[in-house]
Structure 1
Amino acid sequence: MIDIDTQLSAIQREVATRGTDGAEEVAVLLRRRYEAQAADVWQAVAEPDQLRRWFTPVSGDLRVGGTFQLEGNAGGEILTCEAPHLLRVTFGAPTSILELRLSAADGSTLLELEHTVPLELAGSGAGALYVGPGWDGALLALGLYLDGEVAEDPAAAGNSPEGIEFARRSVHVWAEAITASGAASPEEVTAATEASLAQFAPATA
């Protein structure tokens, strides 16, 4: 059993729209601190043999300039890989950019995950609801893995009743973060919340 409230509160969430006319984007930022060395967190997120144990298998030409494909998920191009601090890739589309930053302090590691997409693709800051809960689930799974709790089947764990309940609450936490950011109208947040629940927590939608 996991303490869902504690796991959700361990993540800081920010949503913002930025840029100039014609080049505006929606940025989704998650921060979580792990009681592990940066090198260990890096290996967990960047080594294929470890990634499949808590997230999903990855294949491809895994080097800068190469491409990757996550099983059952998105793929893209590897833009930057500077171990053990920075990984930057396209994710699902050339204009969808995922950046993972690690910084060490006193034996722990701060992980920052930033996902940016053009505003025209996201629609508004409410578009964060289509990716944020999924990243919450990934950061939860990473934390459990770093604590030595390895699921036999990560996908099954995410689709378990406990995993679905975590996702349901995550959707509502993201809706609150978007509302607080002012990056979307109440109507946009409501519509995106319903769509996100259907996507990430269908048993409760």
Structure 2
Amino acid sequence: MIDTTEQISAVKRTIGSRTLDAGEARVLTATQTYDAPVEEVWDALTNIERIPRWFLPISGELKVGGSYQFEGNAGGTVERCDAPTSFAATWEFGGQVSWIEVTLTPAPGGGTTFTLEHTAAVDDDMWVQFGPGAVGIGWDMGILGLAGHLGTGASIEPGKAAEEWLASDDGRRFTALSSASWADASIAAGTDEAEARAAADRITAMYTGADQQG
């Protein structure tokens, strides 16, 4: 088992901005170094038969111009692929289009530094209400799955097993720590602290089901 506190601490989270044709967008960046060579991490990220072992079932064609769809989650189009160091794709969910870019670089002393950038034009009211944790928590869960997969090489069942774990005390703690860490990143980017903490509390309640408890 991966220590959840250690895993949360292993990820560096930052929030920035980028100008798109449609206007200003927010950029969430998550970075972690894995004790595995670049080629191994690349295969875990891009092998369509291997991805379901740590993330979600996926269908489609993982090549430039190809479309993909994660079961019950986002889909999109692969826009760029520079194996084995980076790829970029659209991330489409709920009628909204955003963009992801993944970069792999050799880490000093060995291993691979994984960097994920998620760029999205987020409505200001939505940002105030939920903050970066609305998508950041989900990415933390994926990064956790990848860490476990690269660490053990074992297949897991992200579906039912993941749902049961998230409902456990450890899973709820992981969610709360992730939410708080994204709030820290938001504050570092200039968000008012009270606003950032309130948004984190709301999104944590949504993920853990606390907002449905009477």
TM > 0.5: yes
**Structure 2 stretches lacking a partner, 5+ long:** none
Q: 2: CA distance between counterparts of 1:20 and 1:153?
A: 37
Deviations 1:18-75 (A, max 9, x none): 4389621100001100010101001101101110001111101322111100012100
Whether the 8 Å contact between 1:130 and 1:192 is mirrored in structure 2 is: no
1:167 to 175, 190, 193: 175
Tell me the CA shift for residue 151 of structure 1: 5.1
2:131 is equivalent to residue 127 of structure 1? yes
TM-score for the superposition, normalised by structure 2: 0.84
In the alignment, structure 1 segments of 5+ residues that lack a partner are none
In 2, Cα distance between equivalents of 1:139 and 1:32:
8
Q: What is the number of residues matched between the two proteins?
A: 204
CA contact (8 A) 2:180 2:197 kept: no
Which residue in 1 is equivalent to 2:100? Answer: 98
Tell me whether 110-119 or 98-107 shows the greater mean CA deviation. Answer: 98-107
1:60-110 superposed Cα distances (whole Å, 9 cap, x missing partner): 132211110001210011101111111101001674000000011343100
The superposition leaves residues 158-182 of structure 1 with CA deviations (integer Å, 9 ceiling, x where unpaired) of 3311233211211111112211211
For residue 203 of structure 1, report the CA deviation from its aligned partner: 5.2
Q: CA deviation at 1:128?
A: 1.4
Quote the residue 1:36 is aligned against. 36
SS of corresponding position for 2:23: coil
The verdict on how the C-alpha distance between 1:92 and 1:139 changes in structure 2, with shifts beyond 3 A counting, is: same
For residue 84 of structure 1, give the secondary structure of its aligned residue in structure 2: coil
Deviates more, 1:55-64 or 1:40-49: 55-64
1:81–1:121: structure 2 CA closer, same or farther, 3 Å change rule? Answer: farther
1:188 to 1:3, Cα distance in 2 relative to 1, 3 A: same
Residue of 160, 180, 187 corresponding to 2:188: 180
User: Is the contact between residue 17 and residue 119 of structure 1 (CA under 8 Å) also seen in structure 2?
Assistant: no
Instruction: Give the distance between the partners of 2:58 and 2:195, measured in 1 at CA.
Output: 34
The one-letter code sitting in structure 2 at the alignment partner of 1:114 is E
Alpha-carbon shift at residue 197 of structure 1 (Å): 1.1
Matched, 1:155 2:163: no
Deviation at 1:192, TM superposition (A): 2.5
SS of alignment partner, residue 33 of structure 1: strand
Letter in 2 for 1:193: A
Q: Which amino acid in the other structure matches residue 115 of structure 1?
A: H
Q: Distance in 2 between matches of 1:151 and 1:202?
A: 28
User: Which residue of the partner structure matches residue 67 of structure 2?
Assistant: 67
Aligned amino acid, residue 133 of structure 1: I
> How many Å separate the matches in 2 of 1:138 and 1:78?
19
Say which of 114, 117, 121 aligns to 1:118.
121
TM-score (ref. length: structure 1): 0.88
**Aligned residue among 123, 144, 166 for 2:148:** 144
Offset, 1:149: 5.5
Greater shift, 195-204 or 161-170, is seen at: 195-204
Instruction: Say what the alpha-carbon RMSD is for the aligned residues.
Output: 2.5
